[in-house]
Amino acid sequence: MERHALRDDQFARIEYLLPGRPGTVGRNSDLGNRLFVDAVIWKFRVGTPWRDLPEHFGGWCNTHKRFSRWAASGVWENLFRALADDPDNEYASIDATIVRAHQHSAGAIKKGASIKPSGDRAAGSRRKST
């Protein structure tokens, strides 16, 4: 199995949510949904442009068009909603290597800024004589 491909059990969990399968309206490509989903996963995990999609996934232009059609029709959104309810979502882990915050978002004091009490604190405190 390739590193960026879905395992059989993972694809089986999402297969019923994808259009173009037997018994539904729509047409499946000659290569199938499995290879297409693997191509989309590869593209976003590697972070390359669509034009750099390996040839074994099929034509990059057709893959991009199909991805865009699925996005416009809400296929990806429905898929993500279904997976969000899945208790076994090891694929959705987030750690500090992904999430970054600027120091000021954590409350760091900016250079030259003075700390002023909030309006509630100032109203409740006694006035100091000068």
pLDDT tens, 69-93?
Answer: 999 999 999 888 888 776 665 555 5
Q: How confident is the model at residue 20 (pLDDT cuts 50, 70, 90)?
A: confident
- CA 91, CA 14: separation in Å to the nearest integer? 14
Residue 93 lies in a domain: no
Q: The pTM is what? A: 0.60
Residue 23 lies in a domain: yes
Range of the domain at 32: 8-88
Residue 30 lies in a domain: yes
Q: How far apart are the first and last CA of the chain?
A: 76
Question: Are the beta carbons of 40 and 67 closer than 8 angstroms?
Answer: yes
Residue 130 in any domain: the answer is: no
What CA–CA distance (Å, rounded) separates 67 from 57? 13
Whether 108 is covered by a domain: the verdict is no
Residue 49 clears pLDDT 70, i.e. is over it: yes
| Domains contained in the chain, number | 1
**Residue 95 forms part of a structural domain:** no
| Residue 98 Cα distances to 43, 84, 89, angstroms | 18, 19, 17
